[in-house]
Amino acid sequence: MPADPPSSPPRRRLVLPALLAAGTVAGTAWWWIDDPPPSPAPVAPGEPGAQAGTAPDRPVSRAELRPEAGAIPTAESMAPLPPLDAPFDAVRAQLERRAARGDAAAACRLATEYQACENLRYRMSAVDERIRSQGDAIASIADADQRERAMRELAAFGEIAGDNLLREAAHCDGVPAIEPARKIDYWRQAALGGNVAAMVQYANGNAFRHRETLDTLQALVRYRGEAEAIARRAAQAGSAEALLVLANAYSGLLDTGSRSYLAQVVRPDRIEALALYRLAAERLVQQDRDSDPALASLIDDALARLDEDATPDMRADAERRLAERRRAWTPPQPASSLPVRAIAYGGLPDMGPEGCGDAAAPAP
């Protein structure tokens, strides 16, 4: 078995190696601090594609997505979530109690906090490896002045990177690593409990990690049977992100050798994709195309490609579905900044703990 990850992010791993090693200039190394854009999950060779039925045209009922244990309202569960700046370990027990009683927002907060602390461990390791490898490279520089200058630049980068990451690490002090399946269970509980933001993240596959695939096969099988319905319920509740990732998944336009988990779940349905992209065009960009030109371009391009291959009957069917969506779904609200680049490739960035305050989706 692989060794267990450390219980909490190490607090002194970064600064000292930075002061002893040498490497690249600070300005070119900042991308190691920020999480990379998410990439769609690859399809394993020989893996069957979508096995779900065609897109349901009826509303997804609450009974179909009922949590295994119903929520029991308590004074604690009805109270606001703990402050975001509270150290995670200090509020973990409270959040776990609330989640155990069916509090979807608390389950969402647990999932995002554990994920953020896990991501932090990997980011710290990435910075350490960057410093080590660049230090090795600089050791071979023949010119003494150039070598010394590069060493000073890497030391400065190490201090900046270390200070920033160590400030984040204080939030995760004392937090144990969590089993992948348990983290996924928190995401799923929050989604089934109606937390719209968690529904979008879970349905799109963000609860799963490529490095944990073999550890989470049972959860993936379960996900495969429910992801489409959850994504549609989130879209019904007015989530612009859910609307766009669903449209992308149904369209089948992105065929570059990798697909998101959601795209692997749904059966390609270009009529449904056309209806959903038209709804997105009406609600998200038609009123003010200049507010998000990247989003307008993404939707325009998808509509043009889908319409190019559509027959008159397909266009008429898409128009009928669009009318149904207008009538039955909460209008998606333009967001201040949608992750257009990630959505274009079938992905979504990980949501932070601040996103868990979303209200529950209304009953259909």
Whole-number Å distance between alpha carbons of 6 and 177:
7
Distance from chain centroid for Cα 71:
25
Q: Considering its fold, how many domains does the chain have in total?
A: 1
Residue 362 lies in a domain: no
Name the percent of the chain lying above pLDDT 90. Answer: 50
Closest CA to 87 of 167, 177, 172: 172
Which helix (H) or strand (E) element contains residue 48?
none
Model confidence pLDDT, tens digit, residues 49-70: 333 334 444 444 444 444 444 4
Distance from chain centroid for Cα 311:
35
Whole-number Å distance between alpha carbons of 119 and 123:
6
Whole-number Å distance between alpha carbons of 337 and 287:
16
Q: Which domain holds residue 224?
A: 15-36+51-356
Q: Which of 16-30, 115-129, 233-247 has the lowest mean pLDDT?
A: 16-30
Name the percent of the chain lying above pLDDT 70. Answer: 74
pLDDT recorded at residue 354: 93
Model confidence pLDDT, tens digit, residues 273-332: 999 999 999 988 866 677 788 899 999 999 999 999 999 999 999 999 999 999 999 998
Residue pair 176/11 in contact by the 8 Å Cβ criterion: no
Residue 42 lies in a domain: no
Residue 56 lies in a domain: yes
**What mean pLDDT comes out for the span 184-195?**
96
**What mean pLDDT comes out for the span 90-95?**
96
Residue 333 lies in a domain: yes
Whole-number Å distance between alpha carbons of 200 and 351:
10
| pLDDT band, residue 73 (cuts 50/70/90) | low
Residues 6+ apart with CB under 8 A from 29: 23, 130, 134, 157, 161
Residue 121 lies in a domain: yes
Residue 220 lies in a domain: yes
pLDDT recorded at residue 281: 93
Residues 6+ apart with CB under 8 A from 99: 106, 107, 110, 186, 189
Tokens representing 33 are 């601090």
pLDDT recorded at residue 76: 58
Residue 24 reports pLDDT greater than 70: no
Residue 91 reports pLDDT greater than 80: yes
| pLDDT band, residue 38 (cuts 50/70/90) | very low
Model confidence pLDDT, tens digit, residues 102-129: 999 999 999 999 999 998 988 888 888 8
Closest CA to 236 of 356, 58, 358, 54: 58
Tokens representing 46 are 């020989």
pLDDT recorded at residue 46: 34
Residue pair 65/203 in contact by the 8 Å Cβ criterion: no
Burial category of 363 from C-beta neighbours within 10 Å (exposed 0-12, middle 13-18, buried 19 and up) = exposed
State the number of CA atoms in the 13 A half-sphere of 165 facing the CB. 31
pLDDT recorded at residue 167: 83
Distances (CA, A) of 307 to 247, 255, 283, 324, 342: 14, 18, 19, 19, 23
Distance from chain centroid for Cα 309:
31
Residues 6+ apart with CB under 8 A from 188: 202, 207, 219, 222, 223
Closest CA to 355 of 78, 111, 153, 19: 111
The overall longest dimension of the chain from CA atoms, in Å, is 73
Q: Which of 171-180, 243-252, 328-337 has the lowest mean pLDDT?
A: 328-337
Tokens representing 15 are 């600064």
Residues 6+ apart with CB under 8 A from 117: 8, 9, 88, 171, 172, 175
Whole-number Å distance between alpha carbons of 6 and 141:
35
Residue 206 lies in a domain: yes
Q: Which of 102-106, 153-157, 276-280, 334-338 has the lowest mean pLDDT?
A: 334-338
Residues 6+ apart with CB under 8 A from 290: none
Closest CA to 112 of 198, 189, 29: 198
Model confidence pLDDT, tens digit, residues 41-50: 333 333 333 3
pLDDT, mean over the chain? 79
